[in-house]
Amino acid sequence: MDPLAPFEPSAAEPWDRRRAAHLLRRAGFGAGAAEVADAVRAGPERAVAALFEEGDDPEHAATLALGNAVAAREDVADLQAWWLLRMVRAQRPLREKLALFWHGHFATSAAKVGDLRLLARQNRLFLERGLGPFEELLRGAARDPALLLYLDSNANRRGHPNENFARELMELFTLGLGGGFGERDVQEAARACTGWHVRDGSFRFDEALHDPAPKTVLGASGAWTGDDVARLCARRPECARFVARKLFVFFAREDPEPPLVEALGERFRAEGLHVGRFLRALFRARTFYEPRAMGTRVKGPVELVVEVVRLTGARPDFRALARAAGAMGQSLFQPPNVKGWDGGRRWLSGAALLARLSFLARLAEAPGWDAPLARRVDGAADAEAAVDAVLEATVDGAVPEGARRRLVELAGRLGPVERARGLFRALGALPELHVG
């Protein structure tokens, strides 16, 4: 059976609230009861199509336009807060979620780049091209000043090639370890990229520093430049498998089996390496709604903080929100290394778990809490209804009976206006909140 065959609802496997919430959580940052109900009524095909609709609300667009002004303050915490604010406000969050993925894929850190305006510009690149053809995104990323500075491209010149950029282009961005390239390919690709420099914050091809002699990269010979190397890498079958697998792990589940990886790569190639079309197929696929793909993926720190703020309607200090995500292990614009964040269960170290609990406790004291869920919980007729509302919105109701009973007891001790805050504080101790 085709693992990417569409999910077709049936009496045994209906298109229900749990599956709709799963879609909206993975393709965005969670959703309120009304949004989930709309997705259920729409059915899987229309619910998926709605994720890709163009346009966004004016408030989000206005926040996005502030990027250069925020970056000019030269404070990375301000830039982190700017992006978190956009994620929280986005009415069509798939582009923001995908920009977060590309930020980890083409990992670039402010600690080395220095100029935050370049990072803001790179972030816009991920938003504008992230859902389109991968080869176009790769070509843009390969000429991106922030990435070139991060990978020492200014040191790459004729007669003295620097291999950092060429190596990561193959190993981390397109082909992966064991992706059919060798040291000679890296060396020849580095020669092709000589003269790709950054001057005054912009990409510059310095022909005087470029090696124009023929090179052989991945079995193809010619007087290649960096654009040619990106093209040669993108059109290898290993690239389709590598990138499709990474997208699947980010949006669906860890450790896809080799036959599935092969099928993902074939589908990505069939879609012309068009990311949006591939994701549309993935979000409709039966494998996306399998039990092992639902409620099993550990939420990254940024996903967790954005999801909870969106659900509660809290109005936190977004710089503090950025610090909280950093304490949990994910500091935006400051990935730990060129590989980005490892993710998965590695998010749940002892220190990171304590930071998650601390974040939820502080969020309970933040002003606001005016989202429909918060009002529904605080206005619930009794403690059981309040707990049901919280659990339905956050963990699809799936917690052990003992944990639910303890939450009901807690809700019974809290006054109506304190229930939502107190329950979210307590939810931090439940493993179910940290996966989705």
**Residue showing tokens 């305006």:** 117
- Report d(CA 325, CA 275) in Å as an integer: 27
For residues 140 and 113, the answer to whether their CB atoms sit within 8 Å is no
Judge whether residue 397 has pLDDT over 80.
no
Q: How far is CA 347 from CA 48, 341, 430, in A?
A: 28, 9, 15
Interval 108-167: pLDDT, tens: 999 999 999 999 999 999 999 999 999 999 999 999 999 999 999 999 999 999 999 999
Judge whether residue 56 has pLDDT over 80.
no
Residues 73-94, mean pLDDT to the nearest whole number: 95
Interval 293-342: pLDDT, tens: 999 999 999 999 999 999 999 999 999 999 999 999 999 999 999 999 99
Q: What is the pLDDT of residue 396?
A: 83
Q: Is 409 left (phi over 0), alpha (psi -120 to 50) or beta?
A: alpha
Judge whether residue 371 has pLDDT over 90.
no
Query: Which sequence spans correspond to the domains of the chain?
Result: 17-51, 237-293, 301-434
Judge whether residue 246 has pLDDT over 90.
yes
Q: What is the pLDDT of residue 151?
A: 97
- Report d(CA 253, CA 426) in Å as an integer: 27
Q: What is the pLDDT of residue 1?
A: 67
Longest C-alpha distance within the chain, in Å?
Answer: 77
Residue 313: other Cβ atoms inside 10 A: 18
Among 54-58, 224-228, 396-400, the minimum mean pLDDT is found in 54-58
For residues 238 and 173, the answer to whether their CB atoms sit within 8 Å is no
Interval 195-215: pLDDT, tens: 999 999 999 999 999 999 999
Q: What is the pLDDT of residue 55?
A: 75
Half-sphere exposure for 415 (CA within 13 Å, toward CB): 2
- Report d(CA 239, CA 255) in Å as an integer: 18
For residues 247 and 279, the answer to whether their CB atoms sit within 8 Å is yes
Judge whether residue 59 has pLDDT over 90.
no
Q: What would the two tokens of residue 350 be?
A: 């002892």
Judge whether residue 74 has pLDDT over 80.
yes
With bands split at pLDDT 50, 70 and 90, how would you rate the model's confidence at 250?
very high
Q: How far is CA 70 from CA 75, 76, 262, 316, in A?
A: 8, 9, 43, 18
Q: What is the pLDDT of residue 374?
A: 87
Q: What is the pLDDT of residue 82?
A: 97
Contacts of 224 (CB under 8 A, 6+ apart): 188, 189, 192, 214, 215, 217, 232
Q: What is the pLDDT of residue 378?
A: 86
Give the end-to-end CA distance of the chain in Å, rounded to a whole number. Answer: 26
Q: What is the pLDDT of residue 436?
A: 86
Residues 222-243, mean pLDDT to the nearest whole number: 97
Judge whether residue 399 has pLDDT over 90.
no
Q: What is the pLDDT of residue 77?
A: 96
